[in-house]
Copies of this chain bind each other. A is one copy, B any other.
Amino acid sequence: MKPIQIGALAALVATSVALGAPDLAVAQTAKGGRGSAAAPMAQDAQMASKIRLTRKTPAYWEVTFNNPPLNVVGPAEVRRLVEILDQIEADPNVRVVVFDSALPDYFMAHYDLLKPLEESTGMASGPTGMHPVPDFMVRLSRLKAVTIVSIRGRASGIGSEIALAADMRFASREKAILSQFEVGAGFPPGGGPTARLPRLVGRGRALEILIGADEINGELAERYGYVNRALPDAELDGFVDKLARRIASFDGQAIADTKHLVDQASLPPDAESQAGWDAFVADVQRPGAQGRVTALVKQGLGQPGDLEEHLNQYTAKYPK
């Protein structure tokens, strides 16, 4: 636990409040509208650098998580993600989007559990009518463009959930660590892995991942089908870039029509994503979860250090 980084975290909280998130949410509700590129937050240069959108070519975009120290995602980051999603949906030329991280040790630690829950639950619904988190996940899956996630470092909680909602996942064999730690913290994961993992890896391995709530390294993630493949770390970036450029060279209508057919065969009903979010919100407020989360926060949750690096061990140490 390094004081300077606690400071950074506090600054992040202050920034978020200063951005007027609740007001924005109210405004959106009043319009019945959705986060758009014109919203004030969208122009925030700081947030745009934290989740960076790069148009490598008109057909090939890259979204890079660059939100040190842990790439934690909270309400402000969700709004930025929705804004990027809006842009992908609106551009007929983009055919492939790669999601990666600029931080070597973290693809994304997890959702921000330090902010008041109301900041999250109070967000205006997205176009599907669902809360922005499940809304983002189901819209991400249904994009006409293909989405590829490149995982290096830890992808826990919402990091794993974004990976699962995307189309393909490739992991560093040596440096990727996936996990859905939530049950260990006293609540179910809310971003849809309960719907997606069983369809991807089968019920048995899904239950192990979700309820064992332990670390899954790159090699095991491939063996389970949690990721498409685990590649040697030195080859990961090149492999993903080559695949993305290959797909970007293909015909957009052929891609979209093929993906739509696969969607019919494989996407979970939206109701399951909604149910997952509802279960998360309900359970995270229960005393059982509050006790565990508080204990984890006291030990360093949300800050770089031993707890985040061994969250799977800390979740197992809660005194009964």
Contacts of A167 in B (CB 8 A): 203-204, 207, 211
A76-84, A129-137, A257-265: which one contacts chain B?
A: A257-265
Q: A188-B261, A211-B255, A212-B247 are in contact. List 12 more A-B contacts (CB 8 A).
A: A188-B257, A203-B266, A203-B267, A205-B228, A208-B228, A211-B247, A211-B259, A212-B243, A222-B223, A254-B288, A254-B289, A261-B275
Number of copies: 3
Which size bracket describes the interface of A in this complex?
35 or more
Q: How far is the CA of A320 from the CA of B288 in the complex (A)?
A: 58
Could you pull out 11 A-B pairs where Cβ atoms are within 8 angstroms?
A: A183-B254, A195-B264, A196-B265, A202-B266, A203-B262, A203-B266, A207-B259, A208-B228, A211-B258, A213-B250, A257-B283
List A209-263 residues whose CB lies under 8 Å from chain B: 210-214, 222-223, 225, 227-228, 243, 246-247, 249-251, 253-255, 257-262
User: Taking beta carbons and an 8 Å cutoff, which residues of A are in contact with B?
Assistant: 146, 167-169, 182-184, 186-189, 194-208, 210-214, 222-223, 225, 227-228, 243, 246-247, 249-251, 253-255, 257-262, 264-268, 272, 275-276, 279, 282-283, 286, 288-289, 292, 315-316, 318, 320
Q: Among B186, B243, B251, B316, point to the contact of A254 (Cβ < 8 A).
A: B186
Q: Is the CB of B251 within 8 A of A276?
A: no
Q: Is the CB of A210 within 8 A of B262?
A: yes
Q: Is the CB of B272 within 8 A of A146?
A: no
> Which residue of B is nearest A58, CB measured?
B320
Q: How far is the CA of A265 from the CA of B251 in the complex (A)?
A: 33
